[in-house]
Amino acid sequence: MKLQLSTLTAGFFSIASLDAASASQCRCVYGQSCWPSDSDFSQLQSLLSQPLLYPKPTASQCYSTSGASSDCSDVIANYTNGPWRSDMVGSMEAPNWESYIFQNGTIAACYPETNITGACDQGNVPVIAVDARTPADIQAAVNFSVTHDLRMVVKNTGHDFIGRSAGRGALMVWTHNMKNITHDAAFVPEHQENDSCLIGKLCAA
């Protein structure tokens, strides 16, 4: 039994996508009237240690009018290379997580094969990101998303294999560059009084 290509494509991408109507009933996303102003983002920027980032889909270099053709060749050569993807703020674990399927079945995506759609769409890639280097950066991003009721996702050096590090119209907290982690051997979680807490028993309040 053969399935239509459109059916296979829709099935493959649907898990990475959200219905546009249901998305509007959830958190605020880019393009809606509730989206923060440039002034709001300037205030957020003043609290951060690094400039805000504007993620682009992995294949966006293939659509750049100013980029060299070698940039697209690099994209094509490494398109399924996980470590290569992990260094880019807008690149997800696999290409399908960067695509968004609408309720009517149309797909917003950015393919390295530029003849498929003729344009590069943001798809499911968040539109703005905090390059978190300190706990204060993360606190500022979370507080900002709560204040403005934004959809927020977290992306680290690895990837979320079920796509939770992607989100159309979202604010991303990118922890890839948080490398200055130290271990405090003397740290004890609050309320932990004995080792029984470690084997599933109740701790004293």
Instruction: Judge whether 205 lies within some domain.
Output: no
In a domain, 9, yes or no: yes
Interatomic CA distance for residues 33 and 10, integer angstroms: 29
Beta strands 128-131; 171-174: pairing state: parallel
Residue 87, SS3 per DSSP: coil
pLDDT of residue 163: 85
Q: Could you read off the pLDDT of 93-123 as tens digits, one per residue? A: 888 999 999 999 999 999 999 888 789 999 9
pLDDT at residue 59 above 60? yes
DSSP string, 23-66: HHTSSB-TTSTTSPPHHHHHHHHTT-SS--B----GGGGGG-SS
User: Residue 199: its pLDDT value, please?
Assistant: 46
Provide the CATH number for the domain around residue 51: 3.30.43.10
**Sign of the CA dihedral 15, 20, 25, 31?**
positive
pLDDT at 94: 85
Asked if residue 188 has pLDDT above 70, the reply is: yes
pTM confidence score: 0.74
Which of 43-57, 63-77, 186-200 shows the lowest per-residue confidence on average (mean pLDDT)?
186-200
Residue 37 domain-assigned (yes or no): yes
Judge whether 200 lies within some domain: no
Residue 153 is assigned to a structural domain of this protein: yes
Average pLDDT over residues 82-89: 91
Q: Answer yes or no: is pLDDT of 200 > 60.
A: no
The domain total for the chain is 1
Give every CB contact of residue 171 below 8 A, 6+ residues apart in sequence: 126, 127, 128, 129, 130, 141, 144, 145, 150, 151, 152, 153
* Domain assignment of residue 120, given as a range: 5-178
